[in-house]
Amino acid sequence: MQNFNTYDYFQLPLAKIHQLPLQMDLAPQDKTKLRAVVAAPANNPTPGAGPGGAVASGHVDCSSITAIAKDCRGLKEQPSQPKFKGALVQVYVRGAPFGGSDKSSNGHRFDSITLANGMIESGMSCQLLHYTHEEHEHFFSLAAKFDFIIVRCDPGQIKADGGDQQKFDDGMRKLRKQGVQIWPSPDGMEKMAAKDALCKVASMSIGLPDTLAYYSEQEFAQGFKKAVAFQPRVIRHREGIWTVKLKAQNYCSEFGQRCAEDTEVLVLMEDNDNHEEEHTVAEFIEFCVNGHSDKAGKWTSKGAGKYLAGGKEAGGQLVDQRFCPRKVEGELRYNMIADTLVGITHEKPKAGGISVGGTGSVYTYFGSDEPQYQRLTRGFLDKDLPLVMPALGLDELPLWWTADFINSSPEGTDEKWIVSAFNCSCASISRCLAACCKDDTPNASYDDISAEDKAEADKHGKLIGEKAAAILSKK
């Protein structure tokens, strides 16, 4: 850790102070002074306070933990006597540009204000907090005083900030056992994000029967060689998704008719940035199992590979599913509040790409009753939804979650949409994306959301608040 003296710290701009580690070799009185600087810069309320900066009666006083955000612009006044006391928890990755790829310029996640306002409009408090691993024990002692916690930490952020994701999750599990409602629960995030969730719904109308899961090197090598020799595949892991095709296009006519040879060349496209590279079957298997080893050849991917590391319980798994060519037409994201569909987003990749979410993707928004998708909507909500959570081993629906679908049917046939991913870890309110900082919009804020998008986002926030209040009242 780099050493700074007291003078060095107090000469740094506030934005830089937020990126520094909290374990400082300072005198106690200087630590107190610096904490005051970080916790209460101009226009920065204490953690969980309303726009005026004061903690209302009936709320949890969190002024003893570090305030990361510069302000809470757009946040409504907290109710003085809330029905339920809640907190929205975020992580600011110190050292990462903007504090993480999901942040507004004030340090909050880009849709946190909208989500918190939805809770406030339903008569509950919703204090905006940042978790720092140095304050773990004290943070969770305060968290135990809330009725509910909304976790808005993107996967990987706690680790990237120097913390321990398992330690954080165990803390949330303990709170849940004590009766605090956690949205989403650590188990819910883990089981819904696991790629073998697609195998567990393979027999439903939203699934594909030839969805395979691999948990060992032997299973992967044998199954993948057989599958890729038959048709292009999509190999999924929570830290990497690859579209895989034989360069020679010499597919067999029946599944199992042959297995691909180690020396056959694959054309690979990585989902996160749509970049292509070529490797042999043996090199791809080596990368997936052992990462950037000499046997894997030279890779341009920034991913680490090693997808089977740690075994099944640690997320060491790969899912193998047929490639659906019409994915290039885009995906449908079903935005769900518990069991209620509140909107459909069509996400189309940029020209030449097959994956959505990156720069250049085009978003089109539809209501929950959009006629062209009614066949999928009715089948998913009426037939499959009651079966999904039990199939995944979960006891309740998340509060705010999404299901992504791609069209698996050949052109000219009846459309069959199949689920490609579930997400409750940090499902975004996409109408708030204008508040998210990027290289070309480093000062993006809540004020940059258009009036139209803000109105639509507020509707979702309000519905989430109403659903949350109803669930808490029943409990």
Question: What mean pLDDT do residues 221-236 have?
Answer: 95
What separation in angstroms does the CA of 372 have from each of 344, 348, 366, 368, 380? Answer: 11, 16, 10, 11, 14
Q: CA nearest 182: which of 63, 87, 115? A: 87
Question: What mean pLDDT do residues 98-125 have?
Answer: 97
Domain with CATH 3.30.470.20 in the chain: 326-424
Low-confidence winner among 79-93, 228-242, 277-291, 346-360 (lowest mean pLDDT): 346-360
Question: What mean pLDDT do residues 36-47 have?
Answer: 43
Q: How confident is the model at residue 42 (pLDDT cuts 50, 70, 90)?
A: very low
Among all chains, which residue has been given the structure tokens 């809770």? 119
Query: Which amino acid type is present at position 267?
Result: V
Contact 229, 266 (CB under 8 A): no
Q: What is the DSSP string of 246-257?
A: ETT----SSTTS
Residue 59's pLDDT is 86
Structure-model confidence comparison of residues 6 and 188, the more confident one: 188
Domain 326-424: CATH superfamily, name plus number:
ATP-grasp fold, B domain (3.30.470.20)
Structure-model confidence comparison of residues 256 and 436, the more confident one: 436
Among all chains, which residue has been given the structure tokens 């969190």? 62
pLDDT tens by residue, 126-158: 999 999 999 999 999 999 999 999 999 988 899
Instruction: Tell me yes or no: is domain 64-184+443-474 CATH 3.40.220.
Output: no
Question: What mean pLDDT do residues 443-465 have?
Answer: 95
Q: What is the DSSP string of 184-233?
A: S-HHHHHHHHSTTHHHHTTTSTTS-TT-EEE-SHHHHHHHHHHHHTTS-E
Q: How confident is the model at residue 116 (pLDDT cuts 50, 70, 90)?
A: very high
**Angstrom distance (rounded) from CA 161 to CA 156:** 9
Assess whether pLDDT exceeds 90 at residue 91.
yes
- For 404, phi then psi, to 5°, come to -100, 140
Q: How confident is the model at residue 17 (pLDDT cuts 50, 70, 90)?
A: very low
Residue 427's pLDDT is 84
Residue 19's pLDDT is 43
Long-range contacts of 50-57, Cβ-Cβ distance < 8 Å, separation of 24 or more:
50/75, 50/76, 50/77, 50/78, 51/75, 51/76, 51/77, 52/77, 56/80, 56/125, 57/81
Domain with CATH 3.40.50 in the chain: 64-184+443-474
Residue 377's pLDDT is 96
Q: How confident is the model at residue 4 (pLDDT cuts 50, 70, 90)?
A: very low
Q: What is the DSSP string of 69-91?
A: -S--TTPPPPPSS-SS-EEEEE-
Residue 39's pLDDT is 38
Residue 230's pLDDT is 94
Contact 113, 50 (CB under 8 A): no
Residue 10's pLDDT is 32
Residue 21's pLDDT is 44
pLDDT tens by residue, 361-413: 788 989 999 999 999 999 999 999 999 999 999 988 999 999 999 998 877 76
Residue 49's pLDDT is 60
Q: How confident is the model at residue 355 (pLDDT cuts 50, 70, 90)?
A: low
**Angstrom distance (rounded) from CA 458 to CA 308:** 41
Structure-model confidence comparison of residues 283 and 22, the more confident one: 283
**Angstrom distance (rounded) from CA 309 to CA 289:** 7
Residue 338's pLDDT is 93
pLDDT tens by residue, 242-262: 999 999 999 999 988 999 999
Question: What mean pLDDT do residues 314-337 have?
Answer: 88
Q: How confident is the model at residue 35 (pLDDT cuts 50, 70, 90)?
A: very low
Tokens read off for 124: 């509950």
Contact 407, 416 (CB under 8 A): yes
Question: What mean pLDDT do residues 314-333 have?
Answer: 87
Residue 45's pLDDT is 53
**Angstrom distance (rounded) from CA 323 to CA 351:** 18
Q: If you average pLDDT over every residue of the chain, what do you get?
A: 86
Q: Is 35 helix (H, G, I), strand (E, B) or coil?
A: helix
Q: Peptide bond before 184: cis, by omega within 30 degrees of 0?
A: yes
pLDDT tens by residue, 298-322: 999 999 999 999 887 777 889 999 8
Residue 8's pLDDT is 34
Q: How confident is the model at residue 3 (pLDDT cuts 50, 70, 90)?
A: very low
Low-confidence winner among 171-175, 189-193, 274-278, 359-363 (lowest mean pLDDT): 359-363
**Angstrom distance (rounded) from CA 134 to CA 163:** 8
